[in-house]
Structure 1
Amino acid sequence: MKTVERDHFRQANFRRAVPALFVTAAALCAANAAHAAADDVASLYGPQPPANASYLRVLNASSQAVRVALAGSEAPQSVAPGAATRFSVLTQGTPARVSVDGKVLAEASGAPANAGDAVTVALRHDAQGWHATRIVGRYERADGLKATLRAFNFATGCSAKIGLDGNGPTVFAQVAAGAQDSRAINPVSAKLVGQCGAAASAALALPTLAAGDSYSLFVTGDAAKPVLSGVRDALAWPPAAN
């Protein structure tokens, strides 16, 4: 083959190979980008519970510390007055069982919850011992662009209102006794007050909430003396290694 023909042949092969090289490189870049995006999502949300899981947590609405053990993923622990546990993750078919000071509390426990249900149990204490009230809602992922507030009314005889301290705007206009409500808000720092009619709680300072954060507000006490407390929502997941 003449030198000119050989050069022409090599150039033609090179022109055919270049587009293929670009396609291969583009495919590799796309695969790497997809893998990086998946890693970003995993790092953002972390390991997720099973899709058919339900959730259980305890709020200590008494004036004394209590030792609780929850069915599911959360470890036994001492819960201070006004504090709450993380949500324990219950696999499908697991009863929503709560033990208080080493004994199963029937009022706090129940049959397996439906997939996606979130059970919040408020504990109170009197001369007869421990008592519990349950509110069942749905566990939903927080809004990624806003903060989420969830309100739970455990106060007896009270249709609760929650608003900004100092006669500020209303955040929750009416939460019936034994019920819950939720709303998305722009990330903000504020002081909130719970009200039962004319009776008001002490002011509660919200922590600084960022987009994607979820925070629960609890109205406890009674219609004559409401108490407002709160806690960041958190999952006990993945389970701690033994």
Structure 2
Amino acid sequence: MSSTNFNMQRKASSTTCPGNQYLPMEQGFGTRYLLKLCSLFFLPLFLLLSLQLALSTLAAAQSTGVLYEPEPPADASYIRVIYLGQQDQVDVLIDGKLRQASLQESQFSHYMVLPAGPHELVLQSRSGGKKALTLKLDVRAKRIQTLAFMNLQAQARSLSPIIFEDKSNTNRLKSTLTAYHLAPESGAVNIKTADGKTSVFHDLAPSTSHSLAVNPVSVELLVCPSNVQPAASLDCAPSGKGQARTSLAMERGDNYSLLLSTEANPALRAGSGLRARVSKNTLEPGFSK
């Protein structure tokens, strides 16, 4: 047999397996021997690749769940509530579904995302024996509102809130501060920095609100009823009568609410009972900003 024919026969009766060159492809035992060698090489490689793929898929699913919470619909409205005048905590329900549990007196709820149209709001006291209070809502698209319920304990089975039209923060380099005046006994008030250098809100009337875009700083605020301030002056009276103080630390792009109210517990009231509290606005869980 010529050399050329010998090489052709060798290639025809041989094959390659990764990591091995020209393993004999003989009949019977030789064939089984080759398949066994290839299996020993490919099986660990296949298992390793499968494990890597599974881990990558799991990591991707976990990352997606953390990083990409759903955004509210483009035409959604944002509604939150606050109540004054009773010590009981309440559950907030919309259309029979619990949206926030154990809301405390003078605490702003989350902004709840609602589609436009009719809805039913229920405030259910967590103390036994008290009837639920109900309010029919006709929500318009793309609105941001705070519903404030004054003297909740004295209200009948239906609710009658003060409705504030809120604003969104369009300047992400600033913070937004909104003052809500829910202390009618104090009359109009002025709000300034505690060092007296900067006027923040002037002559804010009861049952009104006002918003400002401000630098994200830490500051102490002083609230003074206008009727007890020195004549023709924005300074607070030295006596401190009817005044309230609060501190806040703001961050860029966030929204904050300054609540002016009267102490709900008469035993804790001092003078006019005016109190000032600041809180950061929140969106209900499950949605991204």
| TM-score tier (shorter) | 0.5 to 0.7
Structure 1 residue 184 displacement after superposition: 0.7
Which residue number corresponds to residue 146 of structure 2? 120
Question: How do 1:145-164 and structure 2 match up within 5 A?
Answer: 145-156=173-184, 158-164=187-193
**TM-score, normalised by the number of residues in structure 1:** 0.67
Q: 2 CA distance for matches of 1:164 and 1:227?
A: 16
Question: How do 1:60-209 and structure 2 match up within 5 A?
Answer: 60-62=83-85, 64-71=87-94, 75-95=99-119, 97-101=121-125, 103-106=131-134, 109-125=135-151, 128=154, 133-156=161-184, 158-197=187-226, 198=228, 199-206=241-248, 208-209=249-250
5+ residue gaps, structure 2: 1-66, 229-240, 264-270
1:235 equivalent in alignment to 2:283: yes
Q: 2 CA distance for matches of 1:183 and 1:227?
A: 20
Q: 2 CA distance for matches of 1:200 and 1:132?
A: 28
CA RMSD of aligned residues (A): 3.2
Q: Which amino acid aligns with 2:244?
A: A
Query: Moved runs in structure 1, 4+ residues, more than 4 A?
Result: 124-127, 129-132
Q: 1 CA distance for matches of 2:169 and 2:118?
A: 22
Q: 2 CA distance for matches of 1:96 and 1:136?
A: 18
Return 183-192 or 73-82, whichever deviates more: 73-82
Q: Which amino acid aligns with 1:203?
A: R
Which residue number corresponds to residue 37 of structure 1? none
Q: Which amino acid aligns with 2:250?
A: L
Contact 1:160 1:219 in 2 (8 A): no
Q: Which amino acid aligns with 1:89?
A: V
5+ residue gaps, structure 1: 1-42
Q: Which has the larger radius of gyration?
A: 2
Which residue number corresponds to residue 30 of structure 1? none
**TM-score, normalised by the number of residues in structure 2:** 0.57
1:221 equivalent in alignment to 2:247: no
Contact 1:152 1:218 in 2 (8 A): yes
Q: In 2 relative to 1, CA 212–196 (structure 1 residues): closer, same or farther, beyond 3 Å?
A: same
Identity of aligned pairs, percent?
25
Q: In 2 relative to 1, CA 221–51 (structure 1 residues): closer, same or farther, beyond 3 Å?
A: same
Question: Secondary structure, in 3 states, of the residue corresponding to 1:95?
Answer: strand
Cα deviations across residues 138-163 of structure 1 (Å, max 9, x unaligned)?
44245201111011112225223221
Q: 1 CA distance for matches of 2:201 and 2:91?
A: 30
Q: Which amino acid aligns with 1:226?
A: L
Cα deviations across residues 62-108 of structure 1 (Å, max 9, x unaligned)?
462411214278723112343221111111114261323174424xx
Which residue number corresponds to residue 251 of structure 2? 210
